[in-house]
Amino acid sequence: MTQPLKGLRVLELARVLAGPWAGQTLADLGAEVVKVESPSGDETRGWGPPFHRDGSAAYFHSTNRGKKSIVADFRNSADLTLVKKLASKADILIENFKVGGLKKYHLDYESLNQINPKLIYCSITGFGQNGPYSNRPGYDFIIQAMGGIMDLTGEKDGLPQKPGIAYADIFTGLYSVIAIMSGLKALDQTGKGTHIDMALFDTQLGVLANQASSYFSTGDIPKRMGNAHPVIVPYQVFEVKDGALVIACGNNNQFVRMCEALNLKLHLQDEFKENHLRVKNRSTLLPKIEFRLKELTKREVLDKLQNAGVPAGPINNVGEALNDEQSLFREMKKEHGESFYLNNPIKFNNLDLANNSSAQKLDADKKEVTKKSFWEDN
């Protein structure tokens, strides 16, 4: 089968997570990605333990699958000439230097547009190419704090919490891929490349979704609610006799089926018949559900609700999630030699992903990339 992006050339001048995540996604889809690293390497190579067998951190391997690695010191004329040559032949360039940081090397968009006017050039920074914060460094944790998600995450009376992954970085990487593919489509129509200005802060705001909409509608600031949902009830974590699980009733019919499966009569009470009433009366409703659930084991509850068609599930740890029978069937856990890697979740019926099983050692592909014929048009 054909890889959808096979033949596209990507030059990645990015490090850490957001830019490399975009590059890895393109590589998974078949693009040829050359990752340019400083002589000391991407700093995530040292973000361990744990470390991969090649000495690079597992963190680095999570976001640099399927790329060619070369080392280039932009202060070295030969290295800089090589990078400019690659940029002149590339379809896509991804960079996450500070605003204006590449201009002195003539690797900025304006300079490269002169030698490659069809280039799709994607800049990723903390706060974007302009604005009062544009010169600030932007780390995911800071962006989460400033962008509202931490104030929404955590228990009602506890401290704000960040999610367990680099939320803003990964979303920015994925939005960058969307923008890059849109730029390529526009290139077909206009014959011109484009400069994409991606900011972690913009992305973090952009995925506030219903919480932002609620604020715009009412002027009320959404608050932390732990594992409860602000506008759907019941939709949260519940304790059972031997642990905890999640029940998510997204509509009235599911609520009725939940009550019937658990031998509750709550759906017959007027104050609980509609979701907006359940939201209003959640403090009365939830203790009644909780009392019943604590009489049952996790397996009993899940069997009853799944048989009734009510969304419910266990709270898995990472190992349980990756080794779940559904995960294994869908091949999200891929084996390569004696190790495993996390597969890309995109699946096509008549296209294939690249078999990108691991990240390369630092500068492993310098010999190939420096050949005169590399990226030369046939």
- The DSSP 8-state label assigned to residue 220 in this structure reads P
Tell me whether residue 286 is exposed, middle or buried, using C-beta atoms within 10 angstroms of its C-beta: 0 to 12, 13 to 18, 19 or more.
Answer: middle
- Bridge-based pairing of strands 235-240 and 9-13 is unpaired
Give pairs for 39-45: CB < 8 Å, separation 24+. Answer: 39/71, 39/73, 41/71, 41/362, 42/15, 42/16, 43/15, 43/16, 44/15, 44/16, 44/17, 44/20, 45/362
Angle, vertex CA 371, rays to CA 64 and CA 9, nearest 5 = 45
Strand partners, 93: 11, 121
Phi, psi of 187 (to 5 degrees): -60, -40
Whether the link from the prior residue into 234 is cis, omega within 30° of 0, is yes
DSSP 255-270: HHHHHHHTT--GGGSG
Q: How far is CA 135 from the centre of its chain?
A: 24
Distance CA 347, CA 355 (A): 13
* 324 included as an active-site residue: no
Distance CA 139, CA 43 (A): 13
- Name the maximum alpha-carbon separation found in the chain: 78
- Catalytic residue (choose from 108, 169, 197, 202): 169
Distance CA 173, CA 170 (A): 5
Active site residues: 169
